[in-house]
Structure 1
């Protein structure tokens, strides 16, 4: 098994083609339309935001998956406009864009899976997508350059492309998995099976939609559902896994655990890249909460700490303010005895026996927290529950980016 984020050395999954276009939605003039096609049809597993307020493409995407039995022949992503809170007109616009791409690539409209990302509440200029679809479809290809064009066109406030890949061998046949994602702000996903985080995963494994969904759920739980940049859950969050079956390897026997491991690796890589590229991020912090009664309680504490403005601003200046960690943990809704907790920052003791550790060295801890990445370990000493949660600091730049995002 191998892993890489460099498209130049990636063995892309068979059966897919990708491209991008500049439809004119982004004021910057950068590519804002991404297309992926599997002409023979790909089995799909998908997870979406659990936000009650969802964008039109989430509604339409769910509808299309149900209509086709979770078979997808084309993916259409527009960036620069979320098509959310746009009423019936937004749903109609999404549907029209799917029809336009279906006509351009030769499939049925509900075999097109739509996604959007960008500003909320602005009508989608669907006529631009419709006009761009035929020429864009003519440029589809299966090279690394085509895949990269897709990966770049989905970006909004991201500063870099986010890709990851894995491959493994079964009985002399190679299975490839490649994924890309976008997200830098409005990242606090809690995806359920049924700025924004969008993730597209492509594999040439042969698997049913049901099996793909069952494998996707734990992979997402251990990756995208275990990160936060600002704690704001998007209206458009989507993770889509497509399987073309072109490798000739069936998802049975040893292929299943091998693919599950590859999927988790790719998802965790993409999740880390999202946090590392977060808006204004200067420190990436891993919260390692152990000793909880359950994994769920450990994650509840980790998420509360990871989304605390007081903790995040302290991290921005490498301030070893362990009191904020305890305060956040204490309001997480999980019962524990503060006298039993131990906390270490970057391997240095800061809290034990209900008080500041006798070995606490403020200067050394501050120096350790000045690194780009470090780990905060909190042990509840209650049980075997554990959560590794990836988060970041909160800086002035984040405020600047989001203070005038819509203007």
Structure 2
């Protein structure tokens, strides 16, 4: 069986790494890694690949940035040519970035089986480009691998045959389980001048929070509200940095007492910062999952989440996007949350389940 695995952006790296590792147990399974280059920072990509034990990509498409339409079309064009040279029996895509839907479309039109990891997640907010990517990818996938049981309800409601759906657990947590001990040896917390559980970790980048002057000003006010309660570490996403500079707001963040604004971190250092935080303030989907697995309180600065299990069972609180709600939410989070638990099958073995299902389907 020839399986081509797609990565396009850094969150994909953490999802594909354990799947490729699990595939090594099956000599008859030939894996190929294609990096579309949708998001590419040479230093960060090299660091992530090394820390996660990812092999160098067999193909790098070099798509780069662009509008959603341009980027998706470019991925489709280049991946179609890639499959001409290197045919596949299965194309495995993860998450919800433009590369996910683009490569799934190319494969489906070639009658190649499509496997979608993290299928069935829904925010119910179609203003998010990722929501469109999720819905359409699921419609054309042959294997739909879900990370939480509620995903099956979403897929069934959209007319997808339950026979195509497999509940396997969360591959992001596979990576976390594998690397948590190594992350625990990192010195980044002390190097930044902090102590464990004495700071908040902040990461915000969604267009709805930073792409207009009004949204960016509201986000800065929210950051200021967190920083008024405890010291903060802010690994600043490039799009956030650019927008705050554009709107003349960056100085308000860098001038905050007790705040450290740093560059985006490698996987192990960021995991260390997250594991040692008193709370995390974010708009990231993956971080909602990771904080739940770590038992770290998380405040999500969004109106919706495609990962509801992090709220119903985990440590996540869906805060909305009003800065005025932040102070009370931070105070409540610091008191701790009773009853939070690690969800079913978030046990570090999701990738093994995925690969065994693919191999069984080929036999």
TM over 0.5, yes or no? no
Larger Rg: 1
TM-score by length of 1: 0.27
TM-score by length of 2: 0.29
Query: More helix by proportion, 1 or 2?
Result: 2
